[in-house]
Structure 1
Amino acid sequence: MSNPANVGATPVDEKGDISVQHYDNVELTNKALNEGAKQATAAEHNLTFMQAIKTYKRAAIWSVLISTTVIMEGYDTTLLGSFFGYPQFQKKYGYLTEKDGYQVDANWMSNLNVIAACGNIIGALLNGYLTAKYGHRIVLIGSLLLLTGFIFIVFFASSIEVMAVGTLFCNIPWGVFATSGPAYAAEVAPLALRGYLTAYVNLCWCIGQFISAGILKGLVNVDNQWSYRVPFAIQWVWPIPLAIFAFLAPESPWFLVRAGRLEEAKRSLERLSQPEHNIDYNAQIALMVHTNKLEKEERKGVTYYDAFRGTNRRRTEIACMAFLSQITNGGALCYSGSFFFQQTGIDASTSYGISLGGTGIAFVGTVISWFYLSRWGRRTIWFVGFSSLVVILFLIGVLASLPNQTKSLAWAQSLLTIVWLGAYSMSVGPIVYTLVAEIGSTRLRTQTVVLARSTYYVGNIICGGLIQPRLLSPTAWDAKGKTAWFWFVLAFLTNIWGYFRLPETKDRTFEELDIMFQKGIPARKFADYQIDIDEEFSTQR
């Protein structure tokens, strides 16, 4: 097959095919490199969804398997927050109050949330550093093996203090998983599948939360220590199978290109696709090398400091705010469902039943989002969805502020949190993973995801760890549903930011996004901006 990318290239690989390794030594203006990059860009845009599924089904499968590690983080997130309203957990780690029975101290509720988020931040930052050196696979395998040991601490915790230590250590590998999934999916998926596979990360969260809610509902009436220990023990099911999958998975070709291992990157591409579809791997490598060189020319390194230099500063801001929007939208209120329901007067068993239904709705909502993900833009989905969340929080606040609170009003507030979960899972939940995975430069993708996710964790420390437990706890501020007013204000301000600063990334290759950021295109003009491919690829930058 004719290949413009190979014009003038004489080196060959061990199979006798023209080698791609020489691309590492050519200039950005090299004719063969530019022709190959142009060819791959055109192929990306011409690939339909069905063609992408047939050609890159291996990439989809590996992306799904690697992202499945996020199920564990989703499981744990629901687990810890829900245990605060769990009768046997309260009895073991709480104290007896005169009016409300056994309650976990509000300070310890905050401390555990803060400690969990600190562990997540440590894991995320380690992932950004280690993945740049060793790749996704090795870091994931090491994290999974460490987690297997750390689970013993929370399972055998004899006091709230030991529980805190175990929570810190367990959340370190969970921080790795949360940042590896989106980055790996973005780097192995073609443009036609990228949105679906990055949004799948949110579905993994929903799956983890659904499993957690189901187990908690099933064990809530067990009158002994196994009521809360069994949910911890179930976490041992995941690490070993997932470590095997990570060991067998192909490494990200983008990581291999950044490391200068172009022949290995080509072999990785071959493992991620169906060779019988006549894919021009040399052209794809040319596009990756061209994008990498373009970013290097702008002095983009692979450190956290580089994420705040040049055009990366704007990209980092967008990624961080996008993930922070999953905090400022009121998620700490609506995702603490079972505990919130109990504070409105609903019994424990019913509360966990409602939570189970809510996680089921979240799962379905994420799946529904896939049907319009390729039709509507990322910016549109985020903005419409976030505006809906603002309205729902306003309604909860109004209902909670009415005089003479009744059982009907309590149910109305509780059910509105379920409506919130549905709206969130059809919009902000999945689309943020897609946005964050796409917005960073290719050399700094993992670091951008890590910084964004760390911003999320810091926001969770402040809002979900320090403020939200005190707002709800009957031993602290006891605001009940009026908590929604606090989240309404934060969500409204975030919505304004999104309108002016959130760009459209749909149907853009990473090269095209580099060009638009370098030209300083305003966020609201990203969707309609036209790029002259011939001019951009032939111009010396």
Structure 2
Amino acid sequence: MEKIERTRSSSLENEKHGHTTTQRVVVQNMFTNAASATEKEHKMSILQGVRLYPKAIIFSVIISLCCAMEGYDIALLGNFYAFPPFNRKYGELQSDGTYQVPAAWQAGISNGAQCGQIIGLFLTGWGVEKFGYKKFILTVFAYQACIITIFFFAPSIHILLVGACFAGIAFGVFMSVALRGYLTTWGNSCWGIGQLIAIAVIRSMFGRDDQWAYRIPYALQWMWFPIVVTGIILAPESPWWLVRQGRYEDAKKSLLRLTSPKTDPTFSAEETVDMMRHTNELEKDMTEGASYLDCFKGVNLRRTEIVCMLFVSQNLAGNTFSNYSTYFFAQAGLTGTVAYDFAMGQYGLNTIGAFVTWAFMAWGVGRRTLFLVGLSGLCCTLLILGFLGLVPEAHKDSAALATGSMMIVWAAFYQFSVGTVAFSLVAEMSTRRLQVKTVALSRIAYNIAAIIVNVLTPYMLNPTAWNWGNFAGFFWAGTCFLMCVYHYYRLPEPSGRTFAEMDLLFERRIPARQFKHTDVNAFDVALQHQVREDKPGVEHHDRV
């Protein structure tokens, strides 16, 4: 009997040892594949990336038109305030016979949308992880299609406020779905495309003097749905999300649908999925979960702070002038269609911001450098706008034209740096495991800052309130300078780093200005389920 028990015990030990050995082999293979894929990613040029991921690029471009929808709607809200038919419907009669929407209502409508976005951002962190990107975004699109009817039929400014609050929920979802690197910056250009179309539509309505002058622009919001919904339906689910769910074979299939392997014989979907697995496992070890509270624990607190301040900086760098551009131009002395002509030039720059930024990055300019140079240029431009307010009344027309011209210069600095690069930096500063939640928090910070500036700006510009006009430039130049100082000391350079390398640099608390030159090896670290002596070397093998 004792002999039988010893035999059974020996058998169980051999089985356990065999299972452990198999597990070690699996982990070693994952490390080897991940290291190989990482090395290839380091060596991959921009052109090689475009050839390898053409379908991913196309889907990203189409789905990013969600941002165009938001840009279109936000531009309508801010630029209708200089549109006579809209003011007669929703504004109040002034002593000079004109109509103005009161500053309090301007601030209320704009902030209603921002508050709605905060709700949408919280929903995104939960909805994406539970249902996946495709199902969740398609549901939100159906919701937004219904909300547009509120704007179209709004009989009073009170109902417009309700519509703005509900629409903001969808916009919060759209803006928090993040990509990385070059295509992330495309999101800002999409926002500019939406703004440009909105301004062009309003300007084309200047020949009308009836209710359709403002109802037609609202109705055109439905034009986005067929294009974007078709793109979402045809696109595969995110391979990163599938890896987080443990669905590695599905992740491989999704990756193959996003790539053209024939263009690169060295590409291996299996190796790339293992690189995703390695990154995810590394981040699991560092984060121990994926709740919103984790974003404020340990090294993640630093990353969350930087990500939030990147978007806050957009508002404090004078972006509020952009949202109220035609209204600002009208108060500066540009009347009628001239204000909208300047706004179209400004928003036209928004649409090409990503392409100019791509060119800078292709030439080797780091994203930290682009961001800091952009903030410096914005600060100087805002100061000039403020000084233009000192021009005597006799030269008001010339000062108004100079104001319009400087706003275009401001738009160039903003769109070629801060406005565009922030999207890329936000995606790269956060961990992959907490990215959806961190990006959601960053957009909440953006919206909180936007609420503050949207309260201040209508009062600064409205002739029935503070009536600062150009002098508001001095105020925003001061806040922009503070942001420049902050990012000089806190913003790292992510260019040329993989997600895993960024994780380790933050984990080791490397100062922001030393990120670019610090040597780090993501495979010189043992994962939680693997002891260091079992970890394979980082010898890379190309799969053929």
Counterpart of 2:389 in 1: which secondary structure?
helix
| Residue of structure 2 in register with 1:16 after alignment | none
Distance (whole Å) between structure 2 residues aligned to residue 27 and residue 65 of structure 1: 42
Structure 1 position 48, deviation (Å): 1.2
Q: Tell me by how many angstroms 1:454 deviates.
A: 1.3
1:108 aligns with one of 101, 105, 110: 105
Aligned to 2:441: 451
SS at match of 2:93: strand
TM-score by length of structure 2 reads 0.90
- Superposed CA offset, 1:213-261 (max 9, x none): 1111111331111111110000011123322221221111111111111
Structure 2 counterpart of 1:381: 370
Say if 1:393 and 1:359 are closer, same or farther in 2 by CA, change over 3 A.
same
Q: In the alignment, which residue of structure 1 is the partner of 2:187?
A: 201
Q: How does 1:33-112 map to 2 (within 5 A)?
A: 33-99=30-96, 101-112=98-109
Equivalence map 1:2-17=2 (5 Å): none
* One-letter amino acid of the structure 1 residue matched with residue 299 of structure 2: T
Q: 2:346, 2:408 within 8 Å by CA — same for their partners in 1?
A: yes
The answer as to whether partners of 1:329 and 1:488 remain within 8 angstroms in 2 is: yes
Q: Secondary structure at the match of 2:492?
A: coil
Distance 2:360 2:419 in 1: 14
Q: Which residue number in structure 1 is paired with residue 469 of structure 2?
A: 480
Residue aligned with 1:427, SS: helix
- The question of 1:348 aligning with 2:336 is answered yes
- Partners in 2 of 1:219 and 1:28 — Cα distance? 68
**One-letter code aligned to 1:484:** G
1:270 maps to which of 256, 260, 276: 256
Matched, 1:126 2:123: yes
Give 1:26 shift.
5.2
Equivalent residue for 1:494, pick from 483, 492, 496: 483
Distance 2:229 2:524 in 1: 45
**One-letter amino acid of the structure 1 residue matched with residue 439 of structure 2:** V
Instruction: Give the structure 2 partner of residue 434 of structure 1.
Output: 424
In angstroms, what is the RMSD of aligned CA positions? Answer: 2.0
Residues 234-253 of structure 1 correspond to what in structure 2 (within 5 A)?
Answer: 234-253=220-239
- Indicate conservation of the 8 Å contact 1:378/1:504, yes or no: yes
Cα distance in 1 for partners of 2:286, 2:526 equals 16
Q: 1:532 to 1:475 in 2, by over 3 A?
A: same
Structure-2 change in CA distance of 1:251 and 1:476 (3 Å): same
Q: Which amino acid aligns with 2:228?
A: L
Normalised by the length of structure 1, the TM-score is: 0.90
Determine if the alignment matches structure 1 residue 159 to structure 2 residue 156.
yes
- The answer to whether structure 1 residue 143 and structure 2 residue 140 are counterparts is yes
Pick from 453, 457, 467: which aligns with 2:456?
467
CA contact (8 A) 2:31 2:523 kept: no
Bigger CA drift: 449-458 or 240-249? Answer: 240-249
Spell out, residue by residue over 1:343-402, the C-alpha distance to the aligned partner (whole angstroms, 9 max, x if none): 012212211111112111222343222211231101000000110000000111112134
Q: How many residues align?
A: 507
Distance 1:27 1:421, change over 3 A: farther
Distance (whole Å) between structure 2 residues aligned to residue 440 and residue 29 of structure 1? 28
* TM superposition shift of 1:309: 1.0
Change (3 A) 1:479 1:31: same
Contact kept? 2:500, 2:522, Cα under 8 Å: no
Equivalent residues of 2:62, 2:227 under 8 A apart:
no
Amino acid at match of 2:495: K
Amino acid at match of 1:399: L
Structure 2 counterpart of 1:7: none
Residue type of the alignment partner of 2:80? F
8 Å contact 2:353–2:420 — kept in the other structure?
A: no
- Counterpart AA for 1:287: M
CA distance in 1, matches of 2:156, 2:323: 26
Q: Distance in 2 between matches of 1:88 and 1:54?
A: 50
Gaps of 5+ in 1: 1-21, 187-194
Does structure 2 conserve the Cα–Cα contact (< 8 Å) formed by 1:28 and 1:294? Answer: no
The question of 1:518 aligning with 2:507 is answered yes
**Matched residue, 2:242:** 256
Matches of 2:408 and 2:323, distance apart in 1: 9
Q: Do the aligned residues in 2 keep the contact of 1:220 with 1:227 (CA within 8 Å)? A: yes
Say yes or no: does 1:335 pair with 2:323. yes
Q: Name the counterpart of 2:297.
A: 309
Query: What is the aligned counterpart of 1:283 among 268, 271, 279?
Result: 271
* Deviation per residue, 1:65-112 (Å, 9 max, x gap): 111111101111111000111101100000110136100011100100
Aligned to 1:527: 516
CA distance in structure 2 between the aligned counterparts of 1:399 and 1:392, rounded to whole angstroms:
11
Q: Give 1:420-431 correspondences, 5 Å limit.
A: 420-431=410-421
- Deviations along 1:109-136, one digit per CA (max 9) or x if unpaired, are 0100110101111112111110111111
- Find the structure with the greater CA-based Rg: 2
Matched, 1:408 2:398: yes
Conservation of the 8 A alpha-carbon contact between 2:189 and 2:353: no
